[in-house]
């Protein structure tokens, strides 16, 4: 669209967080002039946050790499694409030939789910490589939820979300959507949705060791001891059984394991668990009663409930509560989205399936079980550093920054220097990619097309939205799916100059043979008009639950239609999907999976554990995104600073001053941060944002380096995980804290 000032208006879904807001981007003279929320977007209705505006800064960031880099004699030099792939071909295949495929590890980072090309093709790279050493941000984030949902519903990606627009009671644990804008729950403009909930007489209750921005807009905030959620949730489940408040409603005939669950929770009465979670027994009982009595209600737990040693139990119990109170798969409760394209639980036989398996392999050093085809990210350093058969010798990172995002980054950084070869697909020379031998920079989001394959599976409403590229790519620049195909060609032994279109065809045909059987050839031919991501997306839409079935249902969806719909296509409110959504072998919701029931023993044994005096939790900040947006000026001049929040009683006990600096230590490792004293923190808990620590040599992040902050993950233990999911423990870790004398500070070069 062009207006009278010869400005063009473009619509682009924001790729920065899970809210997936539709943006309106005004371009003049080849530059972004303005970014606003797209008012006519059917899903986000004009909402945006400060990060959305920063797309301009990202696009223009001089530190964002445009050309591949090859490290020669310890220094990065710009190279052509052909040179970069030739270097990879020279160095990677010999390592595979000598040490086997498992000697090459792959790390997959968070931006992959926000970029169509990476989302659809990084798994292809993983399959082509065939290494068991695959690690991703999922084990720093949401693996517990994948596992609990996989066990209960039969598919790792069958994750229910709150139907916020129709609920009367939302109980939220370990999430702060006022800042994060939601996670495993695509819900742009949480603020107005929460406001509307309260305006219609509903209640929002937030359980968090910090009185968060979300707690500030809630009816009630309840402090909880970090890591204590499993006990609170068990106390609630116990109350439901003890007070005969269980009513499964419509789902009664679709649920297995109620009795097993009832006896397994018998020892977790509210009075028993109260001390361990720091929530009064009466509050626990009242929460259970309110949940049961509400007409439409939903419990939701996120990062704070996953990044702890009982992450899988917490994730499970959240859904157990929804199910036991009749709020599961019901309007206003926890519901399953039905995405238009590529959602695994819309494939196969509705209502039954193979379920999930985990532990098909164990990691070499710690013996951690594989979950969803991965090992815990926190095992990567030991896999590199421990000699022996199967040792990791080479690493490919795709949009991941584990040097900052995963526990004990210092050890991992040392380990990365010990590799024989490392490739980073990344847009910056940062804390991780500085260790690489070759960096392949991805395109700016404004140069790609986009469709949220992952987040439409987690959305508060069903929808289909596609964005065209805002700017053309430079002629010599491959798209990210093309880079991944080049890597695949190298790994397959076809070489760096192999015909990637042919590889793409072969991979698609392999997929179709697996998923479409006798229709494979027909579908392949039907896709022949398009290539790459658009081809996969078009086929996904056409064969999906709203699809045109290649003309058999002509009024339904294909990519042409979604592309043409400015602002997207609304596919309606969430609808009940049980039993159709289930893929468990029993065809039922498994309320009491054996693995989880067995794990309750661990939490029972832990009820009397003495509580440390001081523990640390993380937080997110509106003006940043994990580790990688601190280089964008518009965000850097905002409020994001790496400050430790401390309760006044702790500050007094430790001699800390507001605005002063403190050293925070754990297990011999320490960092330094500014202190803010605030009663928003629970006594005994401090909060520090993650993703900081941009003072590492060799990174090229000029803006971020000016205000580097400290890396809280330097304190975390790489050996502490939820044993079921492999998720790292990033919350509730014991720390010591002491003031840093001003005099010392003055003489200190940081
Ligand atoms: N202590 C603590 N640690 C945490 C968390 C916490 O709450 N507390 N949260 C965890 C969570 S939830 C997550 S998801 C992880 C994230 O862990 P990671 O995914 O490892 O970390 P990010 O900071 O998101 O880094 C993303 C990387 O992708 C690169 N990148 C950005 N855009 C693109 C692109 O378009 N193409 C390519 N090729 N690369 C790109 C960035 O430069 C950066 O290197 O961190 C986890 N770490
Ligand atoms: N602006 C911004 N938005 C983001 C991101 C970002 O970095 N910045 N990151 C994105 C990513 S990758 C993700 S995964 C999502 C995450 O989105 P959310 O899940 O909403 O994550 P947080 O905002 O970190 O909120 C986690 C909350 O858990 C609390 N908490 C810590 N430990 C415990 C505990 O043991 N129990 C309980 N009940 N609470 C606890 C913390 O105090 C914090 O308030 O956000 C995404 N959106
Ligand atoms: S809320 Fe998330 S998706 Fe929306 S503009 Fe902000 S960063 Fe982008
Ligand atoms: Mo995340």
HEC sequence for 680-730: CECCCEEEEECCCCCCCCCCCCHHHHHCCCCCHHHCCCCCCECCCCCCECC
- The residue assigned the tokens 């800390």 is 656
* Pocket-forming residues, ligand 2, beta carbon under 6 Å: 17-18, 110, 141, 173-177, 179-181, 183, 207-210, 212, 224, 226-227, 229, 302-305, 308, 617-622, 624-626, 687, 731-732
Of all protein residues, whose CA lies closest to atom 6 belonging to ligand 3?
49
Radius of gyration, CA atoms only, the chain = 25
pLDDT at 341 over 70: yes
- The residue assigned the tokens 């923190």 is 681
Distance 110 CA to ligand 1 centre (A): 5
Indicate the DSSP class of residue 82.
H
The pLDDT score that the predictor gives to residue 748 is 43
Give the chain's length.
Answer: 750
* Pocket-forming residues, ligand 3, beta carbon under 6 Å: 14, 16-17, 19-21, 48-49, 51-52, 181, 188
pLDDT in tens, 281-318: 999 999 999 999 999 999 999 999 999 999 999 999 99
Confidence category of residue 639, pLDDT binned at 50, 70, 90: low
The pLDDT score that the predictor gives to residue 742 is 62
Confidence category of residue 746, pLDDT binned at 50, 70, 90: very low
- The residue assigned the tokens 């001891």 is 225
The arithmetic mean of pLDDT across residues 240-266, rounded, is: 98
- Looking at the CA of 441, which ligand is closest? 1
The arithmetic mean of pLDDT across residues 508-516, rounded, is: 94
- Looking at the CA of 35, which ligand is closest? 3
Is residue 426 in contact with ligand 1, taking CB distance under 6 Å?
yes
- Looking at the CA of 450, which ligand is closest? 1
Atom of ligand 1 lying closest to residue 443 CA: 35
Distance 605 CA to ligand 4 centre (A): 30
Sequence ranges of the chain with CATH classification 2.40.40.20: 612-740
- Looking at the CA of 183, which ligand is closest? 2
CATH number among 3.90.550.10, 3.20.20.370, 3.60.110.10, 2.40.40.20, domain 612-740: 2.40.40.20
Instruction: Please choose from 17, 303, 400 the residue to mutate so as to test ligand 1's pocket, defined by most ligand atoms within 8 A of CB.
Output: 400
Structure tokens at 64: 């964002």
Distance CA 144, CA 371 (A): 10
Distance 490 CA to ligand 2 centre (A): 38
Is residue 383 in contact with ligand 1, taking CB distance under 6 Å?
no
Longest dimension (CA), the chain: 77
Atom of ligand 3 lying closest to residue 16 CA: 7
The arithmetic mean of pLDDT across residues 589-600, rounded, is: 98
Share of the chain above pLDDT 70, in %: 98
Given a contact cutoff of 8 angstroms between Cβ atoms, the answer to whether 403 and 409 are in contact is yes
Atom of ligand 3 lying closest to residue 48 CA: 5
The pLDDT score that the predictor gives to residue 745 is 47
- Looking at the CA of 671, which ligand is closest? 1
CA angle 305, 308, 313 (to 5 degrees): 65
CATH number among 1.10.287.3510, 3.30.565.10, 2.40.30.10, 2.20.25.90, domain 1-60: 2.20.25.90
Atom of ligand 1 lying closest to residue 402 CA: 20
Please report the DSSP string for 319-359 in residue order. Answer: HHHHHHTT-BTSTTSEE----SS--GGGSSSTT--------
- Looking at the CA of 627, which ligand is closest? 1
The pLDDT score that the predictor gives to residue 475 is 87
Mean pLDDT, the chain, as a whole number?
96
Given a contact cutoff of 8 angstroms between Cβ atoms, the answer to whether 611 and 675 are in contact is no
Instruction: Please choose from 175, 720, 728 the residue to mutate so as to test ligand 2's pocket, defined by most ligand atoms within 8 A of CB.
Output: 175
The arithmetic mean of pLDDT across residues 516-522, rounded, is: 94
pTM flag (> 0.75): yes
Q: In 3-state terms, what secondary structure has residue 437?
A: coil
Given a contact cutoff of 8 angstroms between Cβ atoms, the answer to whether 712 and 692 are in contact is yes
The pLDDT score that the predictor gives to residue 561 is 98
Distances (CA, A) of 247 to 12, 152, 328, 444, 596: 44, 18, 11, 50, 22
Is residue 115 in contact with ligand 1, taking CB distance under 6 Å?
yes
Instruction: Please choose from 176, 180, 188, 214 the residue to mutate so as to test ligand 3's pocket, defined by most ligand atoms within 8 A of CB.
Output: 188
Is residue 137 in contact with ligand 1, taking CB distance under 6 Å?
yes
pLDDT in tens, 35-74: 999 999 999 999 999 999 999 999 999 999 999 999 999 9
Distances (CA, A) of 83 to 67, 148, 181: 11, 45, 41
Distance 729 CA to ligand 1 centre (A): 17
Count of H-run helices and E-run strands, the chain: 27, 29
Distance 217 CA to ligand 4 centre (A): 23
Of all protein residues, whose CA lies closest to atom 31 belonging to ligand 2?
304
Task: Of 283, 318, 208, 236, give the one whose Cα is nearest residue 618.
Answer: 208
Distance 304 CA to ligand 2 centre (A): 6
The arithmetic mean of pLDDT across residues 348-374, rounded, is: 97
Q: How far is CA 367 from the centre of its chain?
A: 24
Atom of ligand 3 lying closest to residue 52 CA: 5
Check if CATH label 3.40.228.10 holds for domain 163-329+578-604: yes
Distance CA 274, CA 234 (A): 10
Please report the DSSP string for 469-493 in residue order. Answer: -SSPPPTTPPPHHHHHHHHHHHHTT
> Within 10 Å of residue 352's Cβ, how many Cβ atoms?
16
- The residue assigned the tokens 């309760």 is 647
Q: Please, what is the end-to-end C-alpha distance for the chain in angstroms? A: 50
- Looking at the CA of 621, which ligand is closest? 2
Of all protein residues, whose CA lies closest to atom 6 belonging to ligand 2?
625
pLDDT in tens, 182-211: 999 999 999 999 999 999 999 999 999 999
Distance 285 CA to ligand 4 centre (A): 31
The pLDDT score that the predictor gives to residue 750 is 33
Confidence category of residue 640, pLDDT binned at 50, 70, 90: low
Sequence ranges of the chain with CATH classification 2.20.25.90: 1-60
The pLDDT score that the predictor gives to residue 749 is 37
- Is residue 410 exposed (0-12), middle (13-18) or buried (19+ Cβ within 10 Å)? middle
Structure tokens at 424: 């980073």
Of all protein residues, whose CA lies closest to atom 34 belonging to ligand 2?
226
Given a contact cutoff of 8 angstroms between Cβ atoms, the answer to whether 251 and 329 are in contact is yes
**Which is more confident, 263 or 747?**
263
Task: Of 186, 161, 162, 183, give the one whose Cα is nearest residue 174.
Answer: 183
- The residue assigned the tokens 């290494």 is 131
Distance 254 CA to ligand 1 centre (A): 38
Given a contact cutoff of 8 angstroms between Cβ atoms, the answer to whether 728 and 376 are in contact is yes
Atom of ligand 1 lying closest to residue 406 CA: 47
pLDDT at 144 over 50: yes
Is residue 691 in contact with ligand 1, taking CB distance under 6 Å?
yes
DSSP H helices, 75-115, are 81-99
Given a contact cutoff of 8 angstroms between Cβ atoms, the answer to whether 25 and 11 are in contact is yes
The pLDDT score that the predictor gives to residue 474 is 87
Q: In 3-state terms, what secondary structure has residue 567?
A: coil
């Amino acid at each position: 669209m062009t207006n009278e000032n010869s400005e063009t208006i473009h619509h682009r879904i924001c790729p920065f967080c899970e809210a997936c807001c539709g943006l309106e981007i005004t371009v003049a003279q080849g530059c972004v002039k303005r970014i606003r929320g797209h008012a006519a977007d059917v899903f986000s209705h004009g909402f945006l946050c400060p990060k959305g505006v920063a797309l301009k800064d990202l696009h223009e960031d001089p530190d964002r790499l445009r050309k591949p880099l090859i490290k020669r004699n310890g220094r990065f030099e710009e190279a052509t694409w052909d040179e970069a792939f030739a270097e990879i071909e020279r160095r990677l295949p010999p390592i595979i030939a000598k040490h086997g495929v498992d000697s090459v590890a792959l790390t997959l980072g968070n931006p992959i789910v926000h970029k169509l090309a990476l989302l659809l093709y990084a798994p292809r790279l993983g399959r082509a490589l065939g290494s068991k050493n695959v690690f991703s941000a999922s084990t720093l984030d949401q693996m517990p939820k994948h596992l609990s949902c996989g066990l209960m519903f039969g598919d790792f990606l069958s994750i229910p979300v709150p139907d916020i627009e129709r609920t009367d009671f939302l109980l939220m644990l370990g999430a702060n959507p006022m800042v994060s804008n939601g996670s495993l729950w695509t819900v742009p403009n949480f603020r107005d949705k929460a406001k509307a909930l309260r305006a219609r007489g509903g209640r929002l209750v937030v359980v968090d060791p910090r009185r968060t921005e979300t707690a500030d807009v809630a009816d009630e905030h309840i402090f909880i001891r970090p890591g204590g959620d499993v006990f609170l949730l068990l106390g609630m489940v116990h109350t439901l059984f003890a007070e005969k408040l269980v009513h499964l409603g419509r789902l009664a005939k679709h649920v297995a394991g109620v009795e097993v669950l009832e006896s397994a929770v018998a020892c977790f009465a509210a009075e028993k668990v109260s001390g361990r979670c720091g929530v009064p027994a009466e509050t626990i009982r009242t929460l259970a009663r309110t949940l049961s009595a509400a007409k439409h209600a939903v419990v939701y737990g996120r990062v704070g409930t996953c990044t702890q040693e009982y992450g899988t139990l917490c994730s499970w119990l959240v859904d157990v509560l929804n199910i036991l109170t009749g709020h599961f798969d019901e309007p206003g409760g926890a519901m399953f989205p039905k995405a238009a394209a590529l959602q695994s639980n819309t494939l196969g036989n509705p209502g039954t399936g193979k379920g999930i398996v985990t532990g098909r392999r164990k990691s070499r050093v710690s013996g951690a079980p594989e979950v969803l085809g991965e090992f815990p990210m926190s095992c990567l350093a030991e896999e590199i550093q421990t000699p022996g058969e199967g040792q990791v010798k080479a690493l490919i990172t795709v949009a991941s920054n584990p040097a900052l995002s995963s526990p004990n980054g210092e050890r991992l950084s040392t380990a990365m220097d010990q590799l024989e070869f490392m490739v980073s697909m990344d847009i910056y020379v940062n804390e991780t990619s500085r260790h690489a031998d070759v960096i392949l920079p991805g395109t700016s989001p404004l140069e790609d097309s986009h469709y949220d394959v992952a987040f439409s599976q987690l959305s508060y409403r069903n929808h289909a939205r596609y964005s065209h590229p805002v700017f053309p790519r430079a002629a010599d620049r491959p798209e990210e799916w093309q880079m991944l195909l080049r890597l695949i060609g190298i790994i397959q032994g076809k070489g760096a100059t192999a015909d990637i279109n042919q590889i793409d065809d072969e991979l698609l045909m392999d997929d179709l043979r697996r998923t479409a059987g006798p229709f494979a050839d027909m579908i392949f031919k039907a896709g022949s008009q398009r290539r790459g991501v658009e081809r996969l997306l078009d086929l996904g839409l056409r064969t999906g639950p709203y699809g045109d079935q290649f003309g058999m249902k002509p009024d339904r969806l294909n990519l042409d239609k979604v592309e043409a719909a400015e602002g997207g296509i609304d596919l309606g409110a969430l609808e009940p999907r049980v039993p159709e959504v289930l893929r468990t072998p029993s065809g039922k919701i498994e309320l009491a999976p054996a693995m989880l029931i067995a794990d309750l023993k661990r939490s029972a044994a832990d009820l009397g554990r003495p509580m440390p005096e001081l523990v640390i939790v993380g937080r997110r900040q509106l003006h940043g995104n994990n580790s990688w947006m601190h280089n964008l000026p518009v965000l850097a001049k905002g409020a994001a600073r790496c400050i430790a929040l401390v309760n006044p009683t702790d500050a007094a006990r430790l001699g800390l001053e507001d605005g002063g600096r403190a050293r925070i230590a754990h297990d011999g490792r320490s960092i330094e941060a500014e202190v803010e004293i605030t009663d928003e923190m629970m006594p005994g808990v401090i909060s520090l944002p993650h993703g900081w620590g941009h003072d590492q040599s060799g990174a090229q992040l000029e803006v971020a380096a000016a205000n580097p902050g400290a890396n809280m993950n330097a304190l975390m233990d790489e050996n502490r995980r939820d044993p079921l999911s492999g998720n790292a423990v990033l919350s509730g870790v014991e720390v010591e804290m002491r003031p840093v004398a001003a005099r010392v500070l003055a003489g200190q070069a940081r």
